[in-house]
Amino acid sequence: MALQEPVLTQRIPTPPFGDPADRKLIRHEQYVASGGYAALRKAMEHEPKEIIETVKISELRGRGGAGFPAGLKWSFLPPQDGEPRYLAINADESEPGTFKDRLLIDFDPHLLLEGIAICMHACQLDTAYIYIRGEYHHQAKVLEQAIAEAYDNKIFGPGTIMGKVNDRDPRCFVHRGAGAYICGEETGLLESLEGKRGWPRIKPPFPAVAGAFGRPTIINNVETLAAVVPIIMRGPDWFKSMGVKRPEGAPPTAPASYGPKLYGVSGHVNRPGVYEEELGIRLGDLIENYCGGMLNGKKFKAAVPGGISMGVLGTDQYDAVLDFEVGRKYACLGLGTAGVIVMDEDTDMVAMARNIARFFSHESCGQCTPCREGSGWIYKTLCRIEQGDGTTRDLDMLLELAGSMGAMPGTTICGLADGTNWAVRTILNKFWDEFESRVAKSSSVALPVLTH
């Protein structure tokens, strides 16, 4: 199984179909010349409901981390009532290991804009905000320029090829964040869009019912919307010819993993970068066939399957199949954003855990106590273990602390703490010996009262 032709990277030379050195920004003119905006014109020939149905049949799952079926999300919108409805595009790509949306925005911004326009037509949304992280200075400029071209060429604005959407002229804007990971959480993003601190909201109500400015809002990841374009152009059957099918005998409601996916590989490999493959590539194939093998010929030790909040794959999971089932099969949280971080045999897993804990401690928004306090204590405890002052009891405490925080244990509002939870627990469980040997050498006396 291998991708026959580039789909999302059609205009972005990517191995094995092209040389990254040939990458350049695709302007509107070149985009149209290579078949761009044909999917939008095709979509305009269909009723909005038919477009939603097509995306539903394609079983496109959200590429932003949670893997929620996009068509289903779109169908949650209430009927139109004459008031504004919004689309928020999540380009707040801040999860360590994730840099795939940046590739799309850097070189082929019109693919995203076409996806946005199709979604606006399908869901009858009149205003789109691309929420891009503050650190993406260059990318924000690229998008501003592409949007200006799109307005000039009647994709957005008055008298467009989309006509009136929700009885209004369709509009699209870039909205820059200012350095907060939590704004990638969809309701945190909406709060930030409204000019407030990015504190996630309690759900329900879900954004499809009451989102930005209290109005129905769809929030999609950049890659998800980019994937809508080829689905409209070539149909759901073609899309479903790629990826991993539902297991035999599974109910039709069980989600499968269809379509192409951008895998961003970083860490100890010879050629890190973003590669496009069908969902369900074996981790070993990704490293060997695309990334030129492990750096300096070292042995594989661990990998993060998709952004650090998903936890890690152990040394014996080199053959893990990277699809949406990865979490269930290999004891981690899931595929996430498919930002794969590879670590070689010399990697200090205690240091990795400390780095990850610092990230979550730093990025906790402070709203829920278990996450705010727990992540800080996990970080401090891991620092102590790394410095050689940890105790065996610390390891149990780390597991207990991590296991008690998150939306799944039900102690926090959003899923940020689940990331801390899974990252810390999977590293500890899969590399227990390493942690144990570190604390065994410790000279500190275990006095529980003085633990901190």
Determine if 356 is a binding residue for other proteins (CB under 8 A): yes
> 409, 295, 397, 272: which is closest to 346 by C-alpha?
295
Determine if 380 is a binding residue for other proteins (CB under 8 A): no
Shorter beta-carbon distance to other proteins: residue 203 or 372: 372
Determine if 228 is a binding residue for other proteins (CB under 8 A): no
Binding mask 113-152 for other proteins (x = CB under 8 A): --------------x-x---xxxxxx--xx----------
d(CA 407, CA 371) in angstroms, rounded, equals 10
d(CA 231, CA 237) in angstroms, rounded, equals 9
Omega of the bond prior to 158 within 30 degrees of 0, cis?
Answer: no
Please select the residue that binds other proteins; options are 222, 343, 427, 439, rule is CB under 8 A. 343
CB of 215 to other proteins, least distance (A): 8
* Contacts (CB under 8 A) with other proteins, residues 86-105: 93-99, 102
CB of 190 to other proteins, least distance (A): 10
Shorter beta-carbon distance to other proteins: residue 110 or 176: 176
CB of 283 to other proteins, least distance (A): 16
> 175, 216, 210, 209: which is closest to 192 by C-alpha?
175
Shorter beta-carbon distance to other proteins: residue 59 or 93: 93
Shorter beta-carbon distance to other proteins: residue 82 or 249: 82
Shorter beta-carbon distance to other proteins: residue 279 or 343: 343
Shorter beta-carbon distance to other proteins: residue 93 or 223: 93
Please select the residue that binds other proteins; options are 30, 75, 241, 347, rule is CB under 8 A. 347
Shorter beta-carbon distance to other proteins: residue 232 or 405: 405
Shorter beta-carbon distance to other proteins: residue 40 or 140: 140
Binding mask 48-87 for other proteins (x = CB under 8 A): ------------------------------------x---
> What are the structure tokens assigned to 61, written together?
């799952």
Omega of the bond prior to 205 within 30 degrees of 0, cis?
Answer: yes
* Contacts (CB under 8 A) with other proteins, residues 323-342: 339, 341
Please select the residue that binds other proteins; options are 160, 166, 192, 317, rule is CB under 8 A. 192
d(CA 194, CA 203) in angstroms, rounded, equals 17
Determine if 364 is a binding residue for other proteins (CB under 8 A): yes
Please select the residue that binds other proteins; options are 240, 246, 282, 372, rule is CB under 8 A. 372
Determine if 198 is a binding residue for other proteins (CB under 8 A): yes
* Contacts (CB under 8 A) with other proteins, residues 306-325: 308
CB of 103 to other proteins, least distance (A): 9
CB of 308 to other proteins, least distance (A): 6
Report the half-sphere exposure of 356 (CA within 13 A, side-chain side). 29
Chain residues that interact with other proteins, rule: CB under 8 A: 84, 93-99, 102, 127, 129, 133-138, 141-142, 171, 173, 175-181, 192-198, 213, 264-268, 272-274, 304, 308, 339, 341, 343, 347, 351-352, 355-356, 358-359, 362-366, 372
